[in-house]
Structures are given as structure tokens and as C-alpha cells.
């Protein structure tokens, strides 16, 4: 079985990235969630693990612009 535990570094040789998701606690390029297990047979990959990968911390939200009030 291919290890695709949460927080492990994404490895394109063993993992298939299905999506990227901003995550404040998991570093960019690390696995956020395993969608489907991967398998090896005799040292060769039969099926890569399907994973969702962190794109890093979400961008801070911009403060909404206030409308200028006419006096």
C-alpha cells in the first residue's frame, strides 16, 4: 500500500493530485486528504493514491471598501 497520510509531502511518483485546497495548518505541497488508497505490487505502482494537496495558507481577506459618504 502507498502511504498518503495527512501531512506527508506530495510525491508525483506515488500520488495523483485530484485537487488543491487552501489549508492554514498543513504546509503547501503536503497531503490534506486521501481520496483513494494506492497500491504497489513487487515494487511497482499498480495504482497511485488519489489525494487532495494543500496550496498553503488561505489568502487574507481584504477589508470591504466603505462607500464615501457625502456631507
Q: How big is the CA angle at 21 (ends 17 and 24), to the nearest 5 degrees?
A: 130
pTM above 0.85, yes or no: no
Model pLDDT, residue 61: 78
Sign of CA dihedral 16, 22, 25, 27: positive
Cβ-contact 10, 53 below 8 angstroms = yes
- Bridge partners of 12, per DSSP, are none
Question: 33: part of which helix (H) or strand (E)?
Answer: strand 31-36
Q: Where are the domains of the chain?
A: 1-58
Mean pLDDT of 14-40: 96
pLDDT tens profile 31-65: 999 999 999 999 999 999 999 999 998 878 766 66
Model pLDDT, residue 6: 95
Q: What is the CATH architecture assignment of 1-58?
A: Roll (2.30)
Strands of the sheet containing 31-36, edge to edge, are: 15-21, 49-54, 31-36
Amino acid at each position: 500500500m502507498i502511504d498518503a497520510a495527512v501531512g506527508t509531502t506530495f510525491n508525483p511518483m506515488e500520488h495523483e493530485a485530484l485537487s488543491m485546497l487552501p489549508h492554514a495548518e498543513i504546509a503547501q505541497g503536503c497531503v490534506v486528504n486521501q481520496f483513494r488508497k494506492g497500491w504497489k505490487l513487487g515494487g511497482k505502482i499498480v495504482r497511485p493514491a488519489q489525494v487532495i494537496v494543500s496550496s498553503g495558507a488561505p489568502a487574507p481577506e481584504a477589508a470591504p471598501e466603505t462607500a464615501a459618504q457625502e456631507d
